[in-house]
Chain A
């Protein structure tokens, strides 16, 4: 006896060769007795299949929940904006958070070039006693280098970036788009 046959026979009882028989009368139209599977209405005679109300309701609730919920999440995200954070409040639980940091530029802007294109930009921001390094890579670094001639130290800076907080390393703010850096 093949494996499949053994499983199916133990599944449906002796003599059965169809998975669907194991599910009982709900898989068949109550009027014409044809197999209709999971459909709510018989496609042959249009008779309601008598499927459990719970499942039929759940189908509608699922769509409603998904669409309405997405709308609510979108509205909440759009309304809240990017949260601002003080550098002293950064902890390991903030890892990968997208935040806005406002501070003062400390020192100069460091860049690294490869084949004439800026591939890395970094600078330090402080908002009092605490500082953080902000960095940009690749195309973002090139865009920053093109658009933002570096000011001297002491200029006010607002940066939107993603926090990278790893054990044994200083937290870093990764800039993802040149528009996320505002220097005054």
Chain B
């Protein structure tokens, strides 16, 4: 039953991962809303399988459907470079390899070590989470760099152009942070939609801008060659997996820090320079963050959880706290990761066929419409207003050449304020307490 449920979850997660802009937590939220506590026997392994499958398969649209047109001239990510060079399938393979390697490390040696080291690690770090998050915020803002200002004659205009990109990043962080505060303390949603209160914000900040730019772009995805030989060596994979596990593990351990933020910190900590290492580490970081956070939920005697997935599952599934549940979670994760990796080539071919048949822009427009309908179904028209606002905020870094990771202010700022004991005061200061 466990393996069947995990397999079904992996298949569903892979399918969801291939839909541009659809996050696994959106789907899990809908499942939890419909599920009953009596169904928890199949629900837990299904959840684990779905998270693992999505973490593996989401590399496909993120590499193949990211348009590096003129708006991205200053910042082309490695996956975009590969896709524009017709080597997108190779990039997907590298990312998936990173995820598979990290799945092995997480479930085998990690599975043995986590129950021993996590309680001590958590108890030691818990009083320090607040300043860790503040430090991450400071790093996020201070690491923004001017991308313009090197052209032209000089003077105030050149200075303004130079500062435009960091200013856009800071503005994005502030706006998303205030949005996060409002959604945390007084969301304009009914109590029944509270569990999915962040869904429209995340969809608007991260998914919708990407799809809007794709739909408006003139980029044409060239023919993608089969992966064939890659010039990535074992050393690249080892370095990428190590950096990814470090970043993803840090994100899974510290509340409020997401996989993207963990990957950014780990990339700087390990001095990443190579595109191949970056791709492998992205896959590893994403898998360790999402699957690792879910595994913490099942840790015997933990009493705490991490991540939205655990939060959603916890409302309908009560873990017994015994090793049996933890072993079930490990087995489901490992099986789902293996199955997802095995079907990645077929999924990639299918995805490319869809893009070729339907068109790059049409797929993005359809995905955008799908997200909008899904959001309205889950959270009503108030959720649509949040989605539209968050889309506006999320478009700022894309169009003004800053980094999208500044949108993480939506969780970082409320988390940092809350853990510092300043949450209610901050909410009162902006008049929403």
Contacts and interface: CB of A to CB of B under 8 A. Distances in A.
Contacts, number: 190
B423 interface: yes
Contacts of B216: 52, 54-55, 58
Interface string A77-101: 1101111010001011111111100
Given A6-B231, A77-B182, A167-B317, A94 B382 contact: no
Contacts of A73: 179, 182, 188, 385-386, 389
Contact of A74 (B40, B396, B432): B432
B27 interface: no
A39 B70 CA distance: 10
Given A6-B231, A167-B37, A63 B396 contact: yes
A70 B175 contact: yes
Nearest to B213: A58
Nearest to A29: B151
A76 B396 contact: no
A92 B396 contact: no
Contacts of A62: 392-393, 395-396, 399
A65 interface: yes
Interface residues of A, number: 66
B186 A77 contact: yes
Contacts of B40: 167
Contact of A19 (B76, B152, B386, B399): B76
Contacts of B84: 11, 22
Interface residues of B, number: 74
A168 B319 CA distance: 9
B52 interface: no
Nearest to A79: B188
Interface stretch (A30-38, A114-122, A123-131, A144-152): A30-38
Nearest to A168: B318
A26 B87 contact: no
Contact of A166 (B85, B175, B318, B432): B318
Nearest to B215: A54
Contacts of B178: 70
Contacts of A54: 216
B70 A27 contact: yes
Given A51-B70, A66-B389, A94-B192, A139 B152 contact: no
B389 A44 contact: no
Given A43-B153, A85-B191, A66 B396 contact: yes
Nearest to A82: B186
Contacts of B396: 62-63, 66
B179 A70 contact: yes
A28 B284 CA distance: 38
Interface string B370-413: 00000000000010011011111101100111000000000000
Contacts of A4: 275
Query: Which 7 pairs of residues, A with B, have the shortest CB-CB distance?
Result: A69-B389, A168-B318, A43-B152, A65-B392, A97-B194, A66-B392, A62-B395
Interface of A: 3-4, 6-7, 10-11, 19-20, 22-23, 26-27, 34-39, 43-44, 51-52, 54-55, 58-59, 61-67, 69-70, 72-74, 76-78, 80-83, 85, 89, 91-99, 138-139, 163, 165-169, 176-177
29 contacts: A7-B81, A7-B275, A10-B86, A11-B84, A19-B73, A19-B76, A23-B70, A38-B70, A38-B148, A43-B158, A58-B213, A63-B392, A65-B389, A65-B395, A69-B392, A70-B175, A70-B389, A76-B385, A81-B186, A83-B191, A93-B194, A93-B195, A94-B192, A95-B194, A96-B194, A163-B194, A166-B318, A167-B37, A168-B37
